[in-house]
Amino acid sequence: MAFSTSTRARWTILSYDARFIVAGLSIEYPRKARGTITATSDIEPIGASERREYAIPVEMCEASGEVVARATLRTLVGPKPRT
């Protein structure tokens, strides 16, 4: 869930001339989850395709709004290869 949410978030704000690869994923679980879980990610748009690492935060909450997991996806962004 964390991986899917973070990569979808990255695709929506990535510059058209950039690409990314996943460099790492870390997850912490502050409490046990019960019921339906919703994952969200709040990140700023990337306006350039220069080579750089970005951290994408994801919070997973149960129906009550309590955070049950936090994840950070590390991505390497860079320019698409010229064809």
Dihedral angle sign, alpha carbons of residues 51, 79, 15, 70: negative
Say yes or no to pLDDT of 83 above 90.
no
pLDDT digits (tens, 9 = 90+) for 16-71: 788 888 899 999 999 999 999 999 998 877 777 778 898 889 999 999 999 999 99
Q: What is the pLDDT of residues 46-59, one digit of tens each?
A: 777 778 898 889 99
The residue whose two tokens read 């502050």 is: 30
User: What is the distance between the alpha carbons of residues 20 and 36, in angstroms, rounded to a whole number?
Assistant: 30
**What is the CATH superfamily name and number for domain 2-79?**
Hotdog Thioesterase (3.10.129.10)
Whole-prediction pTM: 0.78
Domain ranges of the chain: 2-79
How remote is the C-alpha of 42 from its chain's centroid?
8
